[in-house]
Structure 1
Amino acid sequence: MVPLLYETFFAALPGADELHSIPSGYFKVIVSEVNGLMEASAFIMQQNASRRDDYCATQVTIDEVEARTGLDIMPVLPDESEEIIEGMLGKLATRLGCS
């Protein structure tokens, strides 16, 4: 399942005969924990993103994903860790090929 965003009206499906919504975008949050060290990165892509787009340019904080979706991405994380991990651009992105 791809996590979707419904922030704005994107488009209508031609000839559709029932009510529907097309997502305005989608997001991905990647979390890794090795030996107690947690790293995370988050990305938000617009619906009209191309496969050739540089996903690294779409990196955001997990806090931004939470604000735009209304979700609590890491609900069991202690508050002090949550502020640090969710409030900064993820260090995991460098391991994903972003500079």
Structure 2
Amino acid sequence: MTPDEIAAVRGELENFAGEVFEPFARNDQRRWGQVYVRGLLTDGKRKSVEPMAARLGEDGNRQALAHFVTTSPWDPSHIRARLAWKMEAV
């Protein structure tokens, strides 16, 4: 998605990420989870942290994104379960 396309759906994306990442204990984990999802949706061939951070502009804190992905303590099974629950409702 282009930056304009993401801007057009940013509110919906933030609501979606808010529901999915709600179980995270800390605000910063929820915030960087939302930023990471937005980064995955941006145009660009590489979806690793550094190129995503460059495309994210003001939210593109490479170090914070890398910390979220590699060392932030969270259990992906909870996120997968919430995604499955959300998709089941569709």
TM-score by structure 2 length?
0.30
Higher strand proportion (structure 1 or 2): 1
TM-score by structure 1 length?
0.29
Q: Which has the larger radius of gyration?
A: 1
